[in-house]
Structures are given as C-alpha cells and as structure tokens.
Structure 1
Amino acid sequence: MNAPARLHPLETRTEKLQSRHLERLAVVYIRQSSMGQVLHHQESTKLQYSLVDMARRLGWAAERILTIDEDLGMSGASAQGRHGFQRLLAEVALDHVGIVLGVEMSRLARSNRDWHQLLELCARFGTLIGDLDGMYDPSLYNDRLLLGLKGTMSEAELHILRQRLQQGKLQKAHRGELAKPVPTGYLRTPAGDVVLDPDEEVRAVVHFIFHTFRRLGSVAGVLRVLAQRGMRIGVRMRTGPDIGTLEWRRPHRNMVVNVLRNPIYGGAYVYGRRGTDPRKQQPGRPATGRTPLLPPAKWQVCLPGQMPAYIEWEEYLRNQARLDANRAGAEGSGPVREGSALLSGLVACGKCNYRMSVQYGKARNGKRYARYVCAHDATTYGGAVCSTVTAPALDRVVAALALEALAPAALEVSLKVAREVEGERAERESLWQKRLERARYEAQRAERQYHAVEPENRLVARTLERQWEEKLAAVRTLEEEYHRQQQHLPRHLTAAEQETIRRLAQDVPRLWTAESTSVADRKTLLRLLIERVDVTAHDDSERVDVVVHWAGGQQTPTQMARPVGRLNQLARHKDLLERIRTLRRQGLTVEQIAEALNKEGWKTPTQRSPFNERLVRAMVHRHGAPARGPRPVPSDAPDAWWLADLARELNMPVITLYGWIRRGWLKSASVKGQRVAYADRKELARLKKLRERQLRFRSATRTQESRA
C-alpha cells in the first residue's frame, strides 16, 4: 500500500483562501540579489519558479497566474530601481491580486519601509501573502504581527551580513592589506605590492604637479601651467582588454585635485576617506551616496610610511590645509587671484572681523580702481556697507612694512630665488627630454615593424609605412615645439649673475618696484609674510587704524589716511579752512595759498593730488573767506608796489598804470613773473598829483565838448 503524498505547509492552511481571492490574480514574485547568484545558484531560482505549480494546486488557472521576475539580480535593500516590486505594488493597489507568493519574505523586501507599505496595501485590498511556511492575511492582527516580525528579521539579517563584511574589510585595512586601485604614478604588481610607476615620464609629471602647486598654491594655477606647456598625465587602464596599458590624457581639474588630495602620494595607506549618505542614493543603485572627503582625523585607517611616497607626509598635510583655505571663501585668504589689489584675501574689518572683499570699478577718467569693502552686513542682511578703504593706499603702507621686515633676510631670499630658477629649468628640461625620448622610441618601433614585413606584402607594408611617417612627423613637431620652448626657459645663471642678484638683494625696494616683478609675485611674497591685516576705518574722518599680523605671530600697529569724498570728512578740516582764511587776509592769491598749503604738508581729501588754484578757489567760494588784504611787497624791494595795490592807492584802473609804464612815467620791473612798480613817498606824491592833473584835464575836455 502506497503512503499518501505529503502536502506542503502552504496547501494545509487554506482556510483563509476564499473564492474572491481565486477570482483575482496569483502573483509569484521572484528575485535574487545579484547576477552571480542567478548564474551560480540556479536551485534557488528553480524553487521560486516552482511556486507557479503551487498556485495551480491552490486553485488558480494557469492564465490567472502572474510571474514577476524583472528583479532578478537586484538587491532588496530598497524599492528604488526594482521595477518588478513597483509593478507588484501597483497591481495590489488596483485590486487585481488575490495572493502574493514568495519563497521567503526577504525576496519581497529587506527594508521595513517597503515591506510595511506592501502589508498596508494587502490589508486594505484583502490580498493574501504566502511563503514556504504558510499563508497569511495581513488584515488579521496575529498574521500582521508575524509578518512584521519576519520583515524586521529580514532587515536585521541584511544589516548583520553587511556588518560582518565591513568588519572583515576593516580588519584587513588595519593591516594595510586591503587592495585598492592605485592612482597615476603607481603600479600594483601581480604579487599585490604597490610600487612607483616604472615609466620615468609618468613619475616626472606627478613630481611637476606637486612642485608647481608648492610654488603657485592653487589648483587653477597648476592646471594653467600644464595646459600652457601641453603636458599630458599618464593613466594606466584598470579595466577592459587593454588593462595595464599606459594612456596619456589631457589634464583636467579633477585629475589635478585627485593627485593633490590622495594621501598615497604622501606615503600613507588610508581607508575610509569618505562616508556614506543614504539620502544621496540614485535610482537603481543601493544607498551608497558619497560624501565629501573627510578630514584626516576622521579616517578609519591611516598608516603613514606604508607606501612609496612622492612627497613628505608633512607636505601633504600642508597641501590639504592650503586647498581648504582656497575653498574657505570669506573665512580664509584664498589663492592668489588676478587684479591689482595686493592684499586680496588678507584684509579683515576691524569692526566686525569679517574678511573684506575686493571691488574693481572705473573712475571718471576711465582708469580702473580697486578698493577693499566690508559688505557682509549688506549682502547677508540687506544693510549698509560697513567700511571701505582704497586698495592702493593700504597696499603702499603694508608693502612698506613688509619690505622693512624683509630687509634682514634679503640675501637669503636672493639665493633661494637663484636656486628656484635653476631647479625650474632642470625640471622642465627633464620633462621635455622624456617626451622626446618616448616619441623617438615610437618612431623607431614603427621603423622596425616596417622593416620586419616582407617587401612583397604591400597590403601590410603600406599601412606600416604610413604609421612610420606619422610617428616621424610627431617627432619633428615635438622637436620644433621643444626648440620654441627653449627660448622661454630661464637660462643658467653664471657666477657673475648670481653676484649681481646678491647685490640687488641689498636693495629690496628696487626689486619690489622693478617692472620684471609681477603683481602675482608681490602677492605671493606678502602671503608668505602676512597672515591677516585688520583695518578699522573711522567713519567721521580719513584716519584708518591698521594692524598687520605677521606669520611669526607678531603684530605691527600703524595708522594711515584714506581718500575721502568731502572736505568736512577730514579730521582737521576746520583748521585747514582757518589757515586758508589767514593766508587770504595776508593778501596771498589762490595760487600762493595752494603753494603754501602744499609746503606746510596739508592734504587734500583725495590724499593723492596736491592743492592747486582751482581747488583753493572752490573751497574759498564754498566755505566763505574774508576779503583778500593787500599783498606784501617783495622782501628785496621795500619801495615796491604790486600794480593792483598801487592802483587802489591812486584810485585808478590798473590798465592806466600799464599805460604810464609804457610812456616812462612810472618805474617798474618784473618780479617772480609779475609786474612790480617802485614808488617811495616822494614818488607817490608825484603820482597822485599826476593823477589829479589827468582827471582835471579829462573834466575840462568833457566840458568843452558839451558846450560845442
């Protein structure tokens, strides 16, 4: 007698199955986490597809069974990118599904958010859920509780698996044995060791990037130099049939940043430089969004000295601090930028402690001007500008202090400059020689391939001949470019030239003001000496308090005068007006008043241009002044009279005196470009009588003319 067939647990618990469920679809959901499981774990796939037969035995017709297998090879950690699961939710929400069948709950979802969303829809539309353990109705409390526990266990299982894998990787990383892709300039041997790239040109380009950044201090500057010299960065292919092949690529910003940021160049093995942010996950991918680079203090593993290095670890840390300062905006000085303002990024407002930005504009005369502006309150809160200082005035004051501080070290600076010039030439020459050597090798290789083919095989010979010609043309082009570049390379300094530099170093101000010294050079020098310049501008005057914070921690306070727009903004504008009135009472002309003010050291509101006739006349007219008194006679001629004063004394026009001088009636001379007449008391009495006779003669003449 044959034993009865053994029933599946799902078939023994059919009391929850009703006719309304059979009227709707039976959905068999099939999923495996990766394509590797699909290829190598086929028994699991067959077990999931066998649920179709289970649905037939439960009473569903073959055409009423829907198989959803679109998520094969997809992780269940999230519903994003799983089109099959999203289709399942849509079918349940449309009230098309009577039961959902799966081998286990982890096949449906490993996230409680997605799992409870499915349970909520199934409970609302009366959809059953079945797995290898039995059949459940999500609308019943006990079944809902059990399904919730299964979903929680499924999510916890995924967490445990990930934690085990992560801990295994972390333990291996702590020993420095976790293999990671190496950047340009490095190569991983078949044994797993990391070594410097055997290609000299690849290593030379990496060294050049660090040397240029050490000199310029910005990524943009390094990239600009690489582009100007037509340099390429060698990259080893990591995937594909050409894995390990060297490919020369045009440098771009991210490549330069990756070289400067990667700690392997400082000789350190590092793991965990980035964190993960689930909010940045992308559709179809797990939640492994990459955050910005973490600071070294938060790296999970950092083992200095484990890798062959291009630079010292201390220099790597300085480079990171410099890159961070370049990105700090208003909080940091930033890199050396274009523009005439020498202290851009270094000036801070003494009132609110915010960095002052640089603004460039055009004056009325068409020339560009620069000024430092504290506009934090204006840009952030819509308030008013805190203070402004013209850039040239502040630059002159700070540059003078810097030159004074630099004078004792002038000789050392000159020698360092000479060494840098020689080093730059040697480095550029080495790079060019490596490029030429590579191009010549390619041409020789093409030549050997051409000579190795049989001459009769013209089908191959023509192709190899064309390739040979192309390589020769590339060599010729590169050599021509090399000779052009040689004209711009800094030449070797002779002993006499070095001695000249030493002599010039004793006169640092001349080097500072020389035409060959660029604005960028001056900015770089100031950044090496100065950390910050605090500027406090007094709103009611031209006075500005300046405090220079040197790199060594010392401070130098000083005071300067800034240009202002109005006379009443000068601290001593009342004293200036009183001085002008005093000189006016003494009989001085506006030209003489302007000359006297300039000699006495008075400053105009602009602080740049001296007093002149136009400015003094405008000030006298605008602010009022007493009538001009008689001008003093020349000191070397006590009997001399200015013609205007003598005409006033004789009560006659000045033009009449000029007529007397032409007729010889009045003795005169030219003093300081002006006409002076000479008349003592006796001569003055004679002139008065002459004036009276002249007036009587004119009166008599008018009387006769009226009678006639």
Structure 2
Amino acid sequence: MSIENSGKVTAEHLRRDAYLYVRQSSLKQVVNNSESTQRQYALRGRAVALGWEEDRVVVIDSDQGRSGASTAGRDGFQRLVAEVSMGRAGIVLGLEVSRLARNNTDWHRLLEICALSGTLILDEDGLYDPRTFNDRLVLGMKGTMSEAELHLLGARLRGGQLAKARRGELKQPLPVGYVHDYADRIVKDPDTAVRAAVERVLDVFTATGSARQVVKTFAAEHLTFPSRIRTGPRKGELVWGPLKHWQVLNVLHNPLYAGAFCYGRRKVERTTDGRVSIRLLPRDQWDTLIEDHHEGYVTFARWETNQATLAAQAASRGLERTATAPREGPALLQGLMICGRCGRRMTIGYHLRQGREVSDYRCMTHAIQEGGRVCQRIPGPGVEQAVAALLLEELTPLAVEAALQVTGRLAARAAEADRLRSTHLQRAQHRALLLEELTPLAVEAALQVTDRLAARAAEADRLRSTHLQRAQHRADLAKRRYLAVDPDNRLVADSLEADWNAALREVAAARKDVERARIETEPVTEALRHKLAHLAGDVHRLWHDPGTPMRERKRIARLLITDITLTKGERITARVRLSGGRHHTLDLPLPLGGGKLWQTPKPVVTAIDALLEDHTDAEIADILNQRGLTSGKGLPFHRLLVRDIREDYQLTSRFDRLRDRGLLTAYELADILDVSVPTIWKWHRGGLLEGEKYNDKNACLYPHPGPNPPRVQQGVRLDRRRPAATPKRTR
C-alpha cells in the first residue's frame, strides 16, 4: 500500500464501516464466471489492510444476477447509496467501476453523495477520495468508459445478430407449428395434429374474415389448439387447450406462417421504472424480411391479404372508421355508409318498431368528440330496401359477366345474342339465354361450397379424434409407469397413480367432446344438397330465404359495394359505388316519422268509404279482415276502429248517406201512416216494411210509403196514433 493511498484513510473513516459491493450481470455469469466473484470477495482483505477490522466490513451481494445498466431492481445498490448518504460508510469497495454502475447518472450520483459524506472509494487499481479534483476526475472518466464499454459490447453483439439475421440464419424462438431440424433449419412440426390445427385457424379466418369468429368456431366445434411452454422445468413441452383470441392474432400477424423470415418486428424499450416494454413496429421498419425462406402454411400474398383485412377491422374502431367484419345485426349496410356532409363513417343504432329491430345510420363523431349535434340520422329500412333491390338487379349481370370470363362455353351464344340486342324482346331473350347457362354454374358452385363445408366438418372431427388418441396414449403411458413402480415405494406410487387418474380424466373429457360434436354437427344430406342446388339457381330466392343468415347477405353486399354516401335533405340521396367501378345514385323519399307511420293506408280508407254505402261499421270490419287488410299499426279491424277512421277522415256516415237518399226515420213514417212508432217497428220485424240498417244496433231508416201504404193483416188492431205532445226525433 502506497504512502499516498494510506494517508487518505483517517480515523474518522475507520470509525465508520467499510461496504463491499459484489455484483454479476447475469445468473449465468454467477454460475460460470466464479473467478470474478472470488476476486470481488477478496477485496475484503484490502479493507483490512487499510485498517478496518474484519467484522466491520459489510458485504452487499444481493444484486447477483442483476444488470448494472440501471438501478431498477438493484436493492443492494440502493441500500449502499442509503448507507453512504446517512454517513455510515467510511469506504466503498468494488472490483471496478462497472461492478458498481454502468450508468453515468447512477455513478455520478454515488460520487456526489460520497463527496458530501466524506466516503472513500476503492477499486482494484487504487484508493480515491471524491472530494479531491484529481481523484474525482479519474473516477468520472472510469464511469464514462464503463458506460461506453457497455454500449460497445451491445453494439458488437447486435451487429453479429443483424449479420446472421440478414442471411436468414439467426436462430429465434419459433411459434407453434414450426420446429428446428438437426441443421437448425425452420421446418413444419412433424406432429400432424399441430399442423392441422394451424391450418384450421387460417382456413376459418379466410372463410369468415374475423379472428373472433375463428375463436367461436373452435369453441362450437370443441376443438383445442397447441402451445409450447417457454420457461420452467417443462420448457418446450406441447400443451393443448381452448383457442384464445390472442393466439389467433399471433398466427395471423406472424409472417413466419407465410414462409418468410423476419427480424426486428418488435422493439424492446425500458420505462422510467425499469420495466420492459415491447412495441410492435410497422413493416417498413423491420430490419429483415426474406420471402420464400421456408415452407409456409399460406402464401405470402394471402398473408398480406389477411393483414389488410385485420387492418381494416382495426381502423373501424378509430375516428376514420372503415368496414368492420359482418355481424348478425339486421343492418344490411353495416360499415359501408359515409356521411355526405362531413365525410366520416356512420355508425349504427337499433331500436324496436312493432316488436322488430330496425336500424338507423348516424354520424356521431362531432356529437361525441365535441358535444355538438348529430350530423345526420337517417332511418335504415328504406335505404336498405332500395340498395338490396339494386344489388339483386346488378347481381345477375355481374355473375353473367364472370361466367363469360371463366368459361368458353358461352362464347358462341354470346356472339349470337349480341346480334339480337336491337329490340327489348331480343334483349330479354339474350338474358334468358345467358341465365340458362349460368344456372348450372351456380348450382355447381353451391355444391362445391357444400362439399367444402362437409370436408371442414370431417377435418374438425378428425382433429377431435386425434386429440382423443393423444390423450389415450398418455393414459397408457401413465398406466405402464404406475404398474412398473415398486409397490413398497408409496410416495412414487401415489404420484404416478395421480398422474394416471388425471390422464384418464383427460381421456373421458376428450371422448365426451367427440361424442357431443358428432351429435351437434348436422350432416350434409342429399336433401340439403338438393335444396342448395335449387336455391343457387335463383339469386332472389337465396336472398329472401329465411334460412340465409344476415351475415351472409352482408358479405354479398360487401363483395359488390365499395361504400355508400348518404345525404339527407328534402329527400335522401344515396350514391352507391360498386366494386366494378360503376356508380348509382338513388333518390329516396324521406321516411314517415312519428304518428304518420301509423296512419291508415289510403286504400283502406277508400275501401271503407265505398263499403259505407251498404254496410255498417261492424260489417265493414269483417269484410276488411276477410280481405287481409290491417290498420296502420298492423292490427285487425273491429267496429270501434272503423268508427274512429270514419270520423278522423270525415267520411259521410251511413245514416247521412241513407237520409240523402230520402229514407225516413220511424217517427217520420209513423206520422205519415198515422200509427205509433212501436207499430212501425212491429211491421218491420213482421216483414211488412222494408228498412235499411244504419248502425250495429239494428236501427233502421225506411223508404217513403208513397200512395200505397202497407196493408195490415186481418185481425191486427191498429194502434192509436201517439199523442201530439210527444216530441219527434230524427235519429
């Protein structure tokens, strides 16, 4: 020990403790680089040589396996700083600066605290007093070099990784469905069940266009999905469980499944509290992307299509919404509507009308973001009906055009039809001629879809059977291990018996899933194939068939429609952009609102007006119900409802119509015949007088008797004329 160094140690320093800080960057270094650890612990002898007693040397080694790049998670370093700041440390010992800290911020903070508390610092090269300029300068340079060294080490390792990655040779953890062979090449998993599960996920997404629908399909078909354990004693083991949404997204987003090697998709960042944050980078920021690197489950073009589909669905949740995945709601044009005023995507709202869900298309962005008014709110049924009629009108010509492009069988007939297009009748013949050829193609396409559905059902059943076989194999292995154990070794025997019972429970659950799925899955019968064949020949019947799910109608609409721009003024203007480049403008009337929706249809009012000539209110209600007519609310008619309609629309009552025709009341006729009113009623019941009913209480009006009044039968006494004081009534 030099005189200069020994002179730095004073009695004040010796009255305080000496703190020895020991650290290795990783657990691997702790296990393999034991020499470095021994050298750090040997510094205890240096403290004793400087005058500290051995029991006054405090060793802090709780940061073994911790990186020195930050203080986060380094409890030992934080304890050291606390002891120095409280003046309990006379000297801090470390093998080198990098053991204490590899971050200039942490290192200079420690130097500042040591200078304030008068604490010495000792490393393998010498003893330093941070209060002196020269020692502090040397320690600052050592800290800077330590941080630079960490950067150089990282850059060197990073350069090697990038070089191997750009050659496609960097070995990385592989997703489920891929393994490394003996030469570290990426190959498909040799387990056919694993490959079939991955292929099933990709196929279902292609058919449905929704990751959530993939999860629902797997759950409905009682299918499981594999995953590999990444850490722990069971690392690398394959386990099966229910498919999760995040697993579907991992499969769809990973270009490895398209046969492409990529590096740099994720960026690892550290937060201020030392936590690791992983952020996905856009494709243009990836370091490496090598197509056709290995055998993929899908083509790269199909993978890019999947990314576009997922991106469109993700954008539907933002401010600039685009078309979402088709769902089960009754709104046919979900995700296709654009506001004609502000250009934003319109959302959907549902409400009940006469017990049925109807849709409204609303532009809500301004109202939600700024608290303003709703930009536009347009009822959906009228627009949807008009667009559906347009689609059905356009669907047949588009299908005919596609059939002409695919097959050459129509070439001769198409040329003949071109010659017949001069008149309307000839154009109709041309359409019928093409449809005659198109129907077998549509039927064939429907049967192909049916066959694909049957194949998918068979594939799902095969996956379930494979899972059952795998569970049975594990149960057999557990049984053989249990039977082979020494009966006297009860601890091992009990553990193996528990494993066997767990395997048997797994077999029972797998068998139950297979049996339940076979019961729930409807087979594709010949009757179903025949029905689909007939439906495929008629697009209109297929569209209006109650068995066609609303989701399928939406998919048909999205195949033909790019978007629809709605503008509401005195009328509704809908500009429909079709995928083929054609545009259509629909001019629609504003839908009736409020009570106008419940108004009695004009044909019903006209019918009531005509029936009042010969019938009462109750008779009119019966006649209208027999004709199948209903009120504005869709209800059947009754006497009071007919009366209300008659009064609301100010129709002339039947009484007034009969009076206009000259018919008399019973009192007026009694005065003419010089008899009492009851006599008139008796004569009418006896058939002596004709009368016309004007209400449903059998009250009548009578025609004028003229010069020949009715003759009374012999023996019938004429009642006396009623007293003149009795007031007369007109109805």
The TM-score with structure 2 as length reference comes to 0.73
Q: Which of 33, 53, 67 is 1:41 aligned to? A: 33
Question: Aligned runs of 1:346-361 on 2, under 5 Å?
Answer: 346-361=336-351
Alignment-derived partner of residue 383 in structure 2 = 394
- Whether 1:491 and 2:524 are equivalent positions in the alignment is yes
- Whether 1:317 and 2:304 are equivalent positions in the alignment is yes
Secondary structure of 2:19's counterpart equals: strand
| Pairwise CA distance, 1:311 | 0.8
- The residue identity in structure 1 corresponding to 2:202 is F
1 CA distance for matches of 2:484 and 2:95? 69
Tell me, yes or no, if the aligned pair for 2:663 and 2:702 is still in contact at 8 Å.
no
1 CA distance for matches of 2:512 and 2:30? 57
Alignment-derived partner of residue 124 in structure 1 = 116
Alignment-derived partner of residue 636 in structure 1 = none
- Whether 1:403 and 2:392 are equivalent positions in the alignment is yes
Q: Could you say if the C-alpha distance between residues 342 and 65 of structure 1 is closer, same or farther in structure 2, counting changes exceeding 3 Å?
A: same
| Pairwise CA distance, 1:333 | 2.1
2 CA distance for matches of 1:128 and 1:455? 66
Tell me, yes or no, if the aligned pair for 1:641 and 1:678 is still in contact at 8 Å.
no
Alignment-derived partner of residue 360 in structure 2 = 371
Tell me, yes or no, if the aligned pair for 1:447 and 1:468 is still in contact at 8 Å.
no
- The residue identity in structure 2 corresponding to 1:488 is T
| Pairwise CA distance, 1:407 | 2.0
Alignment-derived partner of residue 429 in structure 1 = 458
Give the unaligned 5+ runs of structure 2.
400-437, 622-631, 671-676, 710-720
Secondary structure of 1:31's counterpart equals: coil
| Pairwise CA distance, 1:85 | 0.6
- The residue identity in structure 2 corresponding to 1:645 is D
Q: Which of 208, 211, 220 is 1:216 aligned to? A: 208
Alignment-derived partner of residue 565 in structure 2 = 534
Deviations 1:491-545 (A, max 9, x none): 2658xx767645433421211121211122222322333332222233xx5x322
Deviations 1:163-190 (A, max 9, x none): 1111110110011100112222222112
2 CA distance for matches of 1:269 and 1:416? 37
Which shifted more, 234-243 or 87-96? 234-243
Alignment-derived partner of residue 584 in structure 2 = 556
1 CA distance for matches of 2:53 and 2:695? 125
Instruction: Give the share of equivalent positions with the same residue, in percent.
Output: 34
User: How well do the aligned residues superpose, as a CA RMSD in angstroms?
Assistant: 5.1
Alignment-derived partner of residue 331 in structure 2 = 341
Q: Could you say if the C-alpha distance between residues 485 and 450 of structure 1 is closer, same or farther in structure 2, counting changes exceeding 3 Å?
A: closer
Alignment-derived partner of residue 510 in structure 1 = 541
Alignment-derived partner of residue 425 in structure 2 = none
Alignment-derived partner of residue 277 in structure 2 = 289
Q: Could you say if the C-alpha distance between residues 698 and 275 of structure 1 is closer, same or farther in structure 2, counting changes exceeding 3 Å?
A: same
Q: Could you say if the C-alpha distance between residues 131 and 514 of structure 1 is closer, same or farther in structure 2, counting changes exceeding 3 Å?
A: same
Q: Could you say if the C-alpha distance between residues 296 and 676 of structure 1 is closer, same or farther in structure 2, counting changes exceeding 3 Å?
A: farther
2 CA distance for matches of 1:470 and 1:238? 23
Question: Aligned runs of 1:95-494 on 2, under 5 Å?
Answer: 95-236=87-228, 245-279=237-271, 282=274, 288-291=276-279, 293-328=280-315, 329-330=317-318, 331-362=321-352, 367-408=356-397, 409=399, 411=439, 414-433=443-462, 435-436=464-465, 439=468, 474=507, 478=511, 481-482=514-515, 485=518, 488-491=521-524
Tell me, yes or no, if the aligned pair for 1:16 and 1:137 is still in contact at 8 Å.
yes
Alignment-derived partner of residue 626 in structure 2 = none
Alignment-derived partner of residue 643 in structure 1 = 658
Secondary structure of 2:21's counterpart equals: strand
Q: Could you say if the C-alpha distance between residues 116 and 531 of structure 1 is closer, same or farther in structure 2, counting changes exceeding 3 Å?
A: farther
Secondary structure of 2:23's counterpart equals: strand
Tell me, yes or no, if the aligned pair for 1:642 and 1:675 is still in contact at 8 Å.
no
Secondary structure of 1:70's counterpart equals: coil
- Whether 1:23 and 2:15 are equivalent positions in the alignment is yes
| Pairwise CA distance, 1:33 | 1.3
2 CA distance for matches of 1:644 and 1:523? 60
Q: Could you say if the C-alpha distance between residues 122 and 568 of structure 1 is closer, same or farther in structure 2, counting changes exceeding 3 Å?
A: farther
- The residue identity in structure 1 corresponding to 2:297 is Y
Deviations 1:675-697 (A, max 9, x none): 998989x979x9xxxxxxxxxx9
1 CA distance for matches of 2:643 and 2:284? 65
Q: Could you say if the C-alpha distance between residues 413 and 166 of structure 1 is closer, same or farther in structure 2, counting changes exceeding 3 Å?
A: farther
Secondary structure of 1:491's counterpart equals: coil
Deviations 1:644-702 (A, max 9, x none): 4357999x99999x97988999976689999998989x979x9xxxxxxxxxx989546
| Pairwise CA distance, 1:475 | 8.1
Secondary structure of 1:79's counterpart equals: coil
Q: Which of 51, 61, 69 is 2:61 aligned to? A: 69
Deviations 1:379-432 (A, max 9, x none): 222222222223333322222222222223275555433222212212331342
Tell me, yes or no, if the aligned pair for 1:127 and 1:138 is still in contact at 8 Å.
yes
Q: Could you say if the C-alpha distance between residues 133 and 509 of structure 1 is closer, same or farther in structure 2, counting changes exceeding 3 Å?
A: same
Tell me, yes or no, if the aligned pair for 1:647 and 1:654 is still in contact at 8 Å.
no
Tell me, yes or no, if the aligned pair for 1:281 and 1:289 is still in contact at 8 Å.
no
Q: Could you say if the C-alpha distance between residues 344 and 441 of structure 1 is closer, same or farther in structure 2, counting changes exceeding 3 Å?
A: closer
1 CA distance for matches of 2:361 and 2:229? 49
2 CA distance for matches of 1:246 and 1:367? 49
Q: Could you say if the C-alpha distance between residues 44 and 242 of structure 1 is closer, same or farther in structure 2, counting changes exceeding 3 Å?
A: closer
Deviations 1:536-593 (A, max 9, x none): 233xx5x322222333444322133454545899xxx9xx99xx9xx99xx999x9xx
| Pairwise CA distance, 1:271 | 0.8
Q: Could you say if the C-alpha distance between residues 159 and 415 of structure 1 is closer, same or farther in structure 2, counting changes exceeding 3 Å?
A: farther
| Pairwise CA distance, 1:630 | 7.6
Give the unaligned 5+ runs of structure 1.
1-6, 596-605, 634-639, 687-696, 704-708
Tell me, yes or no, if the aligned pair for 1:643 and 1:675 is still in contact at 8 Å.
no
Q: Which of 46, 58, 65 is 1:54 aligned to? A: 46
Tell me, yes or no, if the aligned pair for 2:362 and 2:377 is still in contact at 8 Å.
yes
Deviations 1:129-155 (A, max 9, x none): 333344444344554444333322221
- The residue identity in structure 2 corresponding to 1:536 is T
| Pairwise CA distance, 1:343 | 2.4
Tell me, yes or no, if the aligned pair for 1:325 and 1:333 is still in contact at 8 Å.
yes
Alignment-derived partner of residue 573 in structure 2 = 545
Tell me, yes or no, if the aligned pair for 1:93 and 1:121 is still in contact at 8 Å.
yes
2 CA distance for matches of 1:382 and 1:403? 40
| Pairwise CA distance, 1:265 | 1.0
- The residue identity in structure 2 corresponding to 1:191 is A
Q: Could you say if the C-alpha distance between residues 477 and 139 of structure 1 is closer, same or farther in structure 2, counting changes exceeding 3 Å?
A: closer
Which shifted more, 79-88 or 500-509? 500-509
1 CA distance for matches of 2:546 and 2:303? 35
2 CA distance for matches of 1:66 and 1:480? 63
The TM-score with structure 1 as length reference comes to 0.75
Q: Could you say if the C-alpha distance between residues 270 and 447 of structure 1 is closer, same or farther in structure 2, counting changes exceeding 3 Å?
A: closer
1 CA distance for matches of 2:135 and 2:444? 85
Secondary structure of 1:339's counterpart equals: coil
Secondary structure of 2:302's counterpart equals: helix
